[in-house]
Chains A and B, each alone.
Chain A
Amino acid sequence: MPEAFGILTLATLGGALGVVLATDVVHSAYFLVLAFLGVAGYYFLLGGEFVGAVQILIYAGAVAVLFLFAVMLTRRRADPVWGRSPARWLGVGGAAALLAWLLLTHLERHPWPTKLPPPAPHNTALIGKALFRPFVVPFEVVSVLLLAALVGALLLARKEGGAS
């Protein structure tokens, strides 16, 4: 278990670091897949098989392919993060470092539970029941939102003025 956690941490944070530091946007997209798969591994480790499978399908599958298509359809240019101005490095880097310091010091101070309760045997069945009893209204709202996003994306990506 600690070994799995270490490997997943390496994959997730390494992938995220690769997304930020890669010069080519395509390499960023591949590193993004690595980070997504690492997060899916955490979900499996925490006993959430369904969320882990959805993470792999939606994020590592659909979203990553969408990103690659967007890179393919637009112009590809080198985007090195070290080419930005020193003022931007100071501002953004300082803000990120400050946020990391604040979060990590406060996390360290709190006594977190170390013992994971035994995971429920039927994770997917529990999610289905929760989704269709107490969470049925948000579930339906999300379906309407997905439909609206589908129509909106089609409308935005279509050529203007043409019938096609």
Chain B
Amino acid sequence: MPSLGDFLAVGAGLFVLGLFGALMKRTAVAVLMGIELMLNAANLNLVAFAAFSGRISGQIFALFVIALAAAEVAVGLAILLSLFRSRATVRMDDIDLLKG
């Protein structure tokens, strides 16, 4: 029977992999994927704590996070499309307009 710590360990692994992907990938779409992985790790922790404490609030929080993540992905990908249209690139290192 897996304990709460096992679920949290999986969440930690998922978060670290998402962080690594978000910082290492060149394509903006892949960076967004890394961010989604990190959000999923946080959600997994919330639901695991909710289940082991026998309360429902953690699951409600996870639902809110899912709704916010969906909105974030929609806006993020729209920004990406707009950026691709104006600068014809999706590589993160080509987008350095704010660099001094």
Where the two chains meet, the residues of A that have a C-beta atom closer than 8 Å to any C-beta of B are: 1-2, 5, 9, 12-13, 16-17, 19-20, 25, 28-29, 32, 35-36, 39, 42-43, 46-48, 50-51, 54-55, 58-59, 62-63, 66-67, 69-71, 73-75, 77, 79, 81, 84, 88-89, 92-93, 95-96, 99-100, 103-104, 107-108, 110, 112-117, 119-120, 123, 126-127, 130-131, 135, 138, 142, 145-146, 149-150, 152-154, 156-157, 159
Whether the Cβ atoms of B10 and A42 lie closer than 8 Å is yes
- Residue count of chain B within 8 Å CB distance of chain A: 70
Whether the Cβ atoms of B71 and A146 lie closer than 8 Å is yes
Of B17, B67, B77, which contacts A17 at CB under 8 A?
B17
Query: Quick one: given A51-B59, A103-B12, A107-B9, are A70 and B19 in contact (CB under 8 Å)?
Result: no
Complex CA–CA separation, A17 to B71 (angstroms): 25
A36's nearest neighbour on chain B, judged by CB, is B40
A61: min CB distance to chain B, Å: 10
Whether the Cβ atoms of B59 and A48 lie closer than 8 Å is yes
Query: Quick one: given A79-B27, A156-B81, are A127 and B56 in contact (CB under 8 Å)?
Result: yes
B44: min CB distance to chain A, Å: 6
Contact residues of A: prevailing secondary structure: helix
Whether the Cβ atoms of A107 and B44 lie closer than 8 Å is no
Whether the Cβ atoms of A81 and B3 lie closer than 8 Å is no
Complex CA–CA separation, A51 to B69 (angstroms): 14
Whether the Cβ atoms of A58 and B54 lie closer than 8 Å is no
Query: Quick one: given A112-B8, A116-B51, A156-B78, are A75 and B16 in contact (CB under 8 Å)?
Result: no
Which residues of B (46-77) have their CB < 8 Å from a CB of A?
47-48, 50-52, 54, 56-57, 59-60, 62-64, 66-75, 77
